Structure 1
Amino acid sequence: MPAELPPSRYDFEVDIPPHSGDFVIGGADLAPATLVDAYRHGFFPMGMSEGGAPPMGWWSPSPRGVLLHGDHHVSRSLRRSRPQFEITVDAAFDEVVAGCADPSRSGAWITDTIAQAYGRLHALGRAHSIEVWSKHGDLVGGLYGVSVGGLFAGESMFHRVTDASKVALWAAVDLVFDDAGENRLFDVQWQTPHLARQGVRSVSRERYRALLETALLQPPPAGFV
């Protein structure tokens, strides 16, 4: 079960002006209680500029990219390729974060400080990874994110072979939207053309907060407990 956390030292009850940008506030720290409270209020940490440059900032994009129950699209080609991979959960969290943090990737923003912060969350049962392995036992893709009630906030994913990140997302969707998951929320931060083809939609900040409020009342996915 996820570990109980002390109250956050910071207040994320922030009134966001209707036409504000995606970046909202700066400061605070990356303690587990801070991170979980931020997610409960619709924020996630990145650098204070596009691309994630320091110092730390807290973001609440509008529009927000989300996957809702029943929206995930799996192509026929992906269905054919999935049997080529083995999938695990929480078997190699640090390695997945390292794959996502690869500095050769475009837009890389995961620093050592951020990786360590999410590693602490993982140790407390609050952050989880999906690993995708080749038949030869090589880690070829994955994703990681934070689970708070019925919210799963996907932070980043990577692939080293074709379709591996799509398979990771598919596996995560299956976990999040299990038989009791209709009111859960899979947050992906921003919709991209790549994610849109897999069913991710954009919603306003106000709509996101309504979905989040409902999701937080739901039990966490059994596969992440």
Structure 2
Amino acid sequence: MFWIKLGILLIGFLFAGILPGAVRKSIQHIKIDLNTQTLSFLSNKSLYGKEYAKGYKRLLFASSILLYTFFWLLSEFYDLGQHEKLMQYIDICVASLTLLAFVPHNLKPYSLDNFTPALQRFFHNLLAVVVFLSIPALIVTYQFAIIEHKQFLGLSGLIVIGLVVLATALSFLKSGINGATELLFINGISIWTIFVTILTILS
């Protein structure tokens, strides 16, 4: 149990910090309007060059690995392997986030004349929606799964992720899907991760 707790501590804080930290660092060095553009614009070579596109790909791929490792450790710690829905959501989240890393954003209009770029843009947007919806679904499923083991952690975690989803939904209704809404979502997931990591270590 000691090594699993240590893994949760290290991976939890790394997962919570790597994505928001890298994004904040990136947007400090480029001109990007978070009110009109999404963070996926960073993967567009024509806008920000190969360096940022490559960094975006590596960041999402690393995040998918950390996400899988974090929830695998939590599942081992609380013996949640029998929860099929939880395992399915882990697979969906990791697969969609990994695929998103390798399907860059583009601004080509949807047209039969630009079939390949249009198809790529469609799949990028589809994967982004799947990631946006599946991560909260995974977290909620996890929280319900551990209520029988740790009632306080289960209920308090649900409150935290509920507030994150509510704040993100309000931002979406106000401004639509943009970089600001995505950052709010990312930071919210990071807060939940830190919260769960600390309570798990203290349990």
Q: Which has the larger radius of gyration?
A: 2
Taking structure 1 as the reference length, what is the TM-score of the superposition?
A: 0.30
**TM-score under structure 2 normalisation?**
0.32
- Give the number of the structure whose residues are more often helix, by fraction: 2
